Amino acid sequence: MSQDLRRRLFDELESIALIDPHTHINALQPAAVSLADILGYHYYTELAHSSGLARERIEEPGLSAKEKVARIVGSLAPLENTIQYSWFVELAQVLLGFKDDRLTPNNWEALFNAAHQQMAQPDWSAKVMKQSKLEAVILTNDFDDPLAGWDTRVFVPCLRTDDLVFHFAKSSVQERLQRASGIAVKNAATMRQAIGKLFQHFTSKNCKLCAISLPPDFSPTKVDAASADRAVQAALESGGTISAAHRRDLSNFVFWMLTEFCAEFRLPFDLMIGVNKAVYPGGVYQGQDLFDSRTSLVQYLELLNAFPQVVFPISVLASVTNQELMTFAWIFPNVRTKGHWWYSNVPVYIEHDASARLEAVPWTKQIGYYSDMYKLEFALPKFRMYKRILAKILAERFVINRGWSEDRALTLGRDVLRNNVDRVFFGKTG
Amino acid sequence: MSQDLRRRLFDELESIALIDPHTHINALQPAAVSLADILGYHYYTELAHSSGLARERIEEPGLSAKEKVARIVGSLAPLENTIQYSWFVELAQVLLGFKDDRLTPNNWEALFNAAHQQMAQPDWSAKVMKQSKLEAVILTNDFDDPLAGWDTRVFVPCLRTDDLVFHFAKSSVQERLQRASGIAVKNAATMRQAIGKLFQHFTSKNCKLCAISLPPDFSPTKVDAASADRAVQAALESGGTISAAHRRDLSNFVFWMLTEFCAEFRLPFDLMIGVNKAVYPGGVYQGQDLFDSRTSLVQYLELLNAFPQVVFPISVLASVTNQELMTFAWIFPNVRTKGHWWYSNVPVYIEHDASARLEAVPWTKQIGYYSDMYKLEFALPKFRMYKRILAKILAERFVINRGWSEDRALTLGRDVLRNNVDRVFFGKTG
Amino acid sequence: MSQDLRRRLFDELESIALIDPHTHINALQPAAVSLADILGYHYYTELAHSSGLARERIEEPGLSAKEKVARIVGSLAPLENTIQYSWFVELAQVLLGFKDDRLTPNNWEALFNAAHQQMAQPDWSAKVMKQSKLEAVILTNDFDDPLAGWDTRVFVPCLRTDDLVFHFAKSSVQERLQRASGIAVKNAATMRQAIGKLFQHFTSKNCKLCAISLPPDFSPTKVDAASADRAVQAALESGGTISAAHRRDLSNFVFWMLTEFCAEFRLPFDLMIGVNKAVYPGGVYQGQDLFDSRTSLVQYLELLNAFPQVVFPISVLASVTNQELMTFAWIFPNVRTKGHWWYSNVPVYIEHDASARLEAVPWTKQIGYYSDMYKLEFALPKFRMYKRILAKILAERFVINRGWSEDRALTLGRDVLRNNVDRVFFGKTG
């Protein structure tokens, strides 16, 4: 009975048109062009590598798409239990007509060829979006992205700011900022002018949020003007090397300034908290990062108190930080819970974390899910995974445990799955 | 089948008469006098505020009870998913005859008026206690509470000591201590005399425990006599300001002394570990506190080892600390697990945490639940929430997974729900 | 239906022959000789002690086995809810023909006598292993164990190295090393020679891994040769006392060297991370240790990066560290997840932690369970507990949630329960 109920709720959730509130889609090339774009996703390369496939085999220069897929397929067997593998199988079955439930050395080539053909159709992206019920996706754009050449109502820009906050000591970043803003940064004041230009440009192109990913030890604080100036000077003169103290002041200064611009331009500031970059340097591309569970949202108290007018959708990388996130959204008017990020995007953790939010955070403040995808094909299986879990939570915790009607439970489901994306990023009310 | 089993177990648990082992009830005014006392509970004001209602609207001076309720009701819709909201609906339905399942701008006034009438009946408190099967509740009394004017067998005193441990540098606290004890504190020795008087007074009035809430970075240690004296002197001469070192010594000295008095007077010392006070100063009354998940019971090792004769019922604020609590109760004879506090008082966390305790801590050492309520009306829905979860755990983890009879499971349920309160605080054996 | 499915899967898992990949079995006396060996297990003595039984009653010198059991039985009632107690009942019922479901002052003596008789049979160990479907167990051997007198294919040696890493400043440890290796340690170089001899000896006796348990604050790093030499000198001349800095250098030096030998001898290095030893000195034997949840695998990044050629099966003591373990195994080719250790060996934590691993770590990299037992009798109930949970996870998360066939789910179960032990420790492939 509980399983029938879950299925009914899932079927209803499946009918909802989606806006994916965080992706890494390239708007100029949103869908895959071959199976190598699918199986080259870091979830597969890193798991294949951690199961024994050498990085050099995966990342060999000049490797054809077909040979790359052949090599990865040869190392997929150890992954067949993983939820990540299930994403692949589900998208292959639904979008590509794959009939099996495993990809093996015996059946991959047929799928590769069929995919190649389908992906070459001019309407492939549109078809994938339609089958996935995707109305729009929010992108992750470099601060110097021209944001030209696509419909920004469908592929909605997002100003990603990691480079500005953490890598401004690199001359390449300085040069990119000058080119993008038309302003030569000489000090803190001109840096503020330059970044202001970015916000003008981005918001003129339908940008709906600013975003950043943050290491576990980051604890933003307001720095005084003199320290900010010294840090900017140090970065400009550094040739890439800069003292730890200057680096910290610089990050804090830029981060705080970005938040001020978010206030001025009325943009939510998406905080993705907890990633330790490049801790396994021997890993494959995008498969070198982990987290540290000894992180706390306490590190963000000064920020959240200083900017009551800025909305902060927050993602945490560690499930053990989710209860803090729940309580911060419970208490702070300017906090939103957002999705289940990366290493917490695993069913057992999604269920535990989403249950807590659904039971104790006002429903208006919860953005249920985002795909984090690089290619459109992944929205379908990732959102389905989430919707199955959401259906389970609604069935068990609301219909069964609390006596709600299915309709009432579905209203809650619709809000966290879709309507709150409109509320938080597109200013819709009611 | 599993749901029928859960219901049968719940129905049996419902028949148990309760003593609520931790509340903030005012014994001279234990029940609500209007719906404003119910919806003015910080769980509603803070969630309404975090959903968009300005603090100034809620806390406007001179606001009538009716207008306050009207304003809160106008902001309740975003909370309807929360378990906190379900407490309100269940108490309104069971205690006040409310027929709907939502409180809205259309139906609140009738409930307000009906509540006003019922709460004005002279036997309202008694009626609520009877319907809630509450035999007694343990209070939270300021150290200078005269403890007069009520039946202390029903409203049982508890000596709350936060002010003494953390705020003795304030002259107001010093004056309250002098008034309450009749002793002028001049140094560590006279402070001990004064506090000893408090213990005499409280235990003469049926006080059954000493209690305190503790910040996440507190790590009690014994300080030497000279440091204690210097810290007390500093507090007496401070006019409210005191160095961090003196403050730490003072807190440690007073805390340790309180524990010594608990040993002498044979009182359990209730430790509520992990709250970060006033971290959101813009929040509503009682809605400004959060926690830090980077807390460990390791900080209490010196204390637990030094006082084997003192029983320490322990509450933790973070679910991620619950496994430590489970193991401390598993190993230390003087530790008891106590309830599901505040931000962990959410079904998904209660189930996870209570399951661990029921599976690995001797049943004699577990105090299942307390309401933490300010008004008697909340015992019913909060305990019911817990009992539903307890019934689920007993059904799934004991009857189904371990083949226990329902009777045996209920015996365990009765012990953690009621009998252990008698064992720990009222000295009953067997 | 779900319960029938769980039962069917459990029954199939029950048919699998096991190798227990971590135990403290004494190969010369692997099974209990009386019920005192069973109820003397620290799980019972520490829980009885924490429920009120004085340590002195349990550890009184000269106590007979029978009297010891009588005393423990008198304090077992408070433990009847615990999963630890259920292990006892299940082993007594299955292995010893016990007919009741509780051991009480009224029925214990009959069981004691029956057990005494059965355990005196010369084939008792073999019988227990057969009933438990145990083909072999991996031991925990002191570094100076002669490893003689038993079949090392059944009782497989493991080089346990805590003493070398953490206690080499003790002259007793220095003397044991000299005796075992035949080499007088004078400096870092001769220490390396001595430890090399141990690896030669152990691997010549079918040793399949090196192992160590580690405190929560350990963070291994490579020390330079001069520091290593000074630390070894300090230890040799210390008479047991050594500065904190030398102690740290010494531990790091020895630990790093052991890892180098693991590389040279192609042994996995089993890391059991997180135990705080002797934090409750008043506790019973082996019942004085706890953990600190503020531990992170981040502390092992340098090690894991430095030794890609060494396989590290990792156990974590805190369930809150399990997500880190999951991600480390997901990313690092040389990490394996191993079992559910000690304070995380409780059903609610096993289910949460194992689910995460099964959903996101390649199946080839997971060693599902070990018993950690001191006497053979405990393999049966501990593995059954795990298999019931594994059956539940396979039923709910794979067959129901993901539509797997029961056969496919069982294949996964067989791999984590048995085949991966062969893969990781016995070099079997495929």
Average pLDDT, chain B: 97
Dump the DSSP string for C224-238: PHHHHHHHHHHHHTS
CA distance C350 to C353: 5
| Chain C CA closest to residue A344 | C323
- Spatial strand order of the sheet with A158-160 comes to A158-160, A209-214, A269-273, A312-316, A335-338, A366-367
Q: Is the CB of C282 less than 8 angstroms away from the CB of B305?
A: yes
| Residues of chain B positioned with their CB less than 8 A from the CB of A362 | 47, 50-51, 78-79, 81-82
Q: In this structure, are residues B268 and B262 in contact, taking their beta carbons and an 8 Å threshold?
A: yes
pLDDT category at B155 given cuts 50, 70, 90 is very high
CB contact under 8 A, A362 and B293: no
**How far is the CA of C191 from the CAs of B153, C173, C182, C198, C239, in angstroms?**
70, 12, 11, 11, 17
Which residues in chain C are closer than 8 Å to B326, comparing Cβ atoms? 343, 346
Could you tell me which of B193, B186, B183 has the C-alpha nearest to residue B233? B186
Chain A residue closest to C308 (CA)?
A282
Which regions of A194-317 does DSSP assign to beta strands (E)? 209-214, 269-273, 275-276, 290-291, 312-316
pLDDT at A1: 65
User: Residue B1 has what pLDDT?
Assistant: 65
Judged by CB atoms closer than 8 Å, whether chains meet at B330 and C50 is answered as yes
Dihedral class, residue C239 (left if φ above 0, else alpha if ψ from -120 to 50, else beta): left
**CA–CA separation, C202 and C208 (whole Å):** 9
Q: Residue C183's pLDDT is what?
A: 97
Q: What number is the average pLDDT over the span B113-127?
A: 98
Largest alpha-carbon pair distance within chain A?
68
Q: Which of B41, B342, B348, B393 to mutate to test the interface with A (most CBs of A within 10 A)?
A: B348
Locate C82 and state its tokens. 């615990």
Question: How large a percentage of chain B has pLDDT more than 70?
Answer: 100
What whole-number distance in Å separates Cα of residue A304 and Cα of residue A327? 13
Q: Report which residue type is found at C1.
A: M
Residue C430: other Cβ atoms inside 10 A: 5
pLDDT digits (tens, 9 = 90+) for B287-314: 999 999 999 999 999 999 999 999 999 9
What is the identity of the amino acid at B360? A
Q: What is the strand order of the sheet B155-156 is part of? A: B18-20, B134-138, B155-156
**Inter-chain CB proximity B348 and A326 less than 8 Å:** no
φ, ψ for residue A226, nearest 5 deg: -65, -45
> Strand, helix or coil at A315?
strand
Residue of B nearest to C348 (CA): B356
* C contacts of A3 (beta carbons < 8 Å): 400
For chain A, which chains pass the contact test of at least 3 CB pairs under 8 Å?
B, C
Nearest-Cα distance to chain A for B376, in Å, is 22
With a cut of 80, say whether residue B221 has pLDDT above it.
yes
- Taking alpha carbons only, the member of B397, A65, A350 closest to residue C388 is B397
Q: Please tell me the predicted confidence (pLDDT) of residue C429.
A: 75
Q: Of A75, A279, A293, A350, which to mutate for an interface test with C (greatest number of C Cβ within 10 Å)?
A: A293
Whether residue B50 and residue A412 make contact (CB cut-off 8 A), yes or no, is no
Q: Rounded distance, CA A256 to CA A248, Å?
A: 12
Nearest to A322 by CA among B369, C323, B42: C323
Distance from CA of C295 to the nearest CA of B (A): 10
Residue B250 CA to residue C309 CA, distance in Å, equals: 54
ipTM over 0.85? The verdict is: yes
Angle between helix C379-393 and helix C347-360 axes, rounded to 10 deg: 50
Interface probe for B, chosen from C4, C43, C50 (most Cβ of B below 10 Å), is: C50
Residue of C nearest to A319 (CA): C323
How does residue B180 score in pLDDT terms, banded at 50, 70 and 90? very high
Closest to A23 (Cα-Cα) out of A352, A361, A293, A270: A270
pLDDT score for A430: 59
3-state secondary structure of A352: helix
User: Are A359 and B347 in contact (CB < 8 Å)?
Assistant: yes
Say how far apart CA B240 and CA C334 lie, in whole Å. Answer: 57
Cβ-Cβ contacts under 8 Å, A344 against chain B? none
Minimum Cα–Cα distance from C354: chain A residue: A348
Q: Which ranges constitute the DSSP H helices of B99-170? A: 108-120, 124-131, 162-166
C83–B365 CB contact, under 8 Å: no
- Give the torsion sign (CA, B332, B334, B335, B336): positive
Instruction: Please choose, from the candidates A135, C42, A240, the residue with its C-alpha nearest in 3D space to the C-alpha of residue B330.
Output: C42
pLDDT beneath 70, residues of chain A: 1, 430
DSSP state of B141: B
C-alpha B314/C-alpha B303 separation (Å) is 13
CB contact under 8 A, B343 and A327: yes
**pLDDT tens track for B269-283:** 999 999 999 999 999
Residue numbers in B near C83 (CB within 8 A): 359-360
Contact present, C364 and A79 (Cβ < 8 Å): no
A33 neighbors A376 (Cβ within 8 angstroms): no
Which residues on chain A are in Cβ contact (under 8 Å) with B347? 355, 359, 397, 401
Which residues does chain C have with pLDDT short of 70? 1, 430
- Distance separating alpha carbons of residues C240 and C171, to the nearest angstrom: 7
**Rounded CA gap, C321 and C318, in Å?**
5
Burial of B54 by CB count in 10 Å (0-12 exposed, 13-18 middle, 19+ buried)?
A: middle
| pLDDT confidence tier of residue B105, bands split at 50, 70 and 90 | very high
Which of C294, C331, C400 comes nearest A290 by C-beta? C331
Chain B residues touching residue C343 (CB < 8 angstroms) = 323, 326-327, 330
Find, among C76, C27, C84, C73, the residue nearest to C342 by Cα.
Answer: C84
Alpha-carbon distance A317 to nearest alpha carbon in chain C (angstroms): 10
Q: CA nearest B115: which of B96, B91, B88, B102?
A: B96
Give the pLDDT confidence score for residue C239 in this predicted structure. Answer: 78
Of C305, C362, C401, the CB nearest to A280: C305
Q: Which residues of C touch B327 (CB under 8 A)?
A: 290-291, 343
Report the gap between the CA of B319 and the closest CA in chain C (Å): 10
CB C427 within 8 A of CB C203: no
Distance (Å, rounded) from C-alpha A285 to C-alpha A55? Answer: 9
* Chain B residue at shortest CA distance from C10: B401
Q: How much is the pTM?
A: 0.98
